[in-house]
Amino acid sequence: MPSRDARPKADEITLANDTVLGTIRETVDAASHSKYLGDVREVHPLYAESGLVHPGFLLRRANTILRDTVRLGPWIHVGSTVQFHGTMQVGQSLETRGRVANLFERKGHGFVDLDILMLTDDEQAVASVRHTAIYEPRQIRAA
C-alpha cells in the first residue's frame, strides 16, 4: 500500500482495467471491531459476545482499499455485490486484495468496478466483493 502522500491521483491511468490495488494486512482486534459495532449501532449479541466479525466490517475494506491506493476527491460508493465464503473471528488476521475490473463513464461520471478478495491468516477466503464507485463525479470533471 502506498504511503498517504505517495498515492497517485485517481484517473484513467491509475485505475486502468486489471490494475492491482494495494493490499491491506491487518489483525481484526477487539477495539476496532467494537468501535465499528458502535458506529453502526449493531446490538445483536452474535457479534459483540461471540467475537464473530460483522459482515459490514469486512465490506468497509472495499472502500478502504480504493481510498488508500489512490488519491480521491469527492467520490460515491454506488454498490457492492458480496459473496461470503466463511466466517471470521475477532483476533484473526485479514488480508484484503483488489484489482480494477472495469473503468467506465456513465452520464458524465467516472466509475470503477473493483474485484476484492478477503482472506484470513490461514489463506481461507472470507468474502469476495464486486465493488462499484464513482471515483470522479461529473461536477468535478466539468470544473
Confidence at residue 1, expressed as pLDDT on a 0 to 100 scale:
79
What number of helices (H) and strands (E) belong to the chain?
4, 5
Place of cell 465499528: 36
Q: What pLDDT, in 10s, does the model give residues 56-109?
A: 999 999 999 999 999 999 999 999 999 999 999 999 999 999 999 999 999 999
Q: Give the domains, in start order, of the chain with CATH numbers.
A: 4-142 (3.10.129.10)
State how beta strands 125-136 and 76-84 pair: antiparallel
Q: What is the pTM of this model?
A: 0.88
Confidence at residue 3, expressed as pLDDT on a 0 to 100 scale:
86
Q: What pLDDT, in 10s, does the model give residues 1-51?
A: 788 889 999 999 999 999 999 899 999 999 999 999 999 999 998 898 889
In angstroms, the CA 31 to CA 37 distance is 10
